[in-house]
Amino acid sequence: QQQVKQSPQSLIVQKGGISIINCAYENTAFDYFPWYQQFPGKGPALLIAIRPDVSEKKEGRFTISFNKSAKQFSLHIMDSQPGDSATYFCAAMVETSGSRLTFGEGTQLTVNP
């Protein structure tokens, strides 16, 4: 019940295209859903996050879509750039539990020039 399932494992997109990464969860107590971007040899960095009271959040080229009834959320990267090539992790948290994050398995995104 604590798992977060992420797909696809890897994704190749052409420059300018849309990258879509999906995550699904079981624990309905989760109330905070962040996405992290990780470059090789570096720690993860927060990209964008959403709470279940909204269905969509957009920051620049990055959008989270959230479907509470389906227990799914996704990251959309518009106008993907080679610099976006990285590993992306979705995560979920029960905020009152002391910020323990449950991570998805990760998606390795490659944006070809």
| Binding residues for other proteins restricted to 59-88, rule: CB under 8 A | none
Exposed (0-12), middle (13-18) or buried (19+): which is 6, by Cβ within 10 Å?
A: buried
Q: Is 105 in the site for other proteins (CB under 8 A)?
A: yes
Binding other proteins by CB under 8 A: which of 5, 15, 58, 100? 100
Query: Which DSSP helix (H) or strand (E) runs through 49?
Result: strand 45-50
Contact 81, 62 (CB under 8 A): no
Give CA–CA dist 40/45, Å, rounded.
Answer: 12
Binding other proteins by CB under 8 A: which of 84, 104, 109, 111? 104
Q: Is 95 in the site for other proteins (CB under 8 A)?
A: yes
Binding other proteins by CB under 8 A: which of 20, 49, 61, 71? 49
Stretch that binds other proteins, among 18-26, 53-61, 76-84, 90-98 (CB under 8 A): 90-98
Contact 50, 93 (CB under 8 A): no
Pick the closest to residue 88 from 66, 62, 107, 72 (CA basis).
107
| Binding residues for other proteins restricted to 28-47, rule: CB under 8 A | 32, 34, 36, 41-46
Q: Which residues bind other proteins (CB under 8 A)?
A: 32, 34, 36, 41-46, 49, 89, 93, 95, 98-101, 103-106, 108
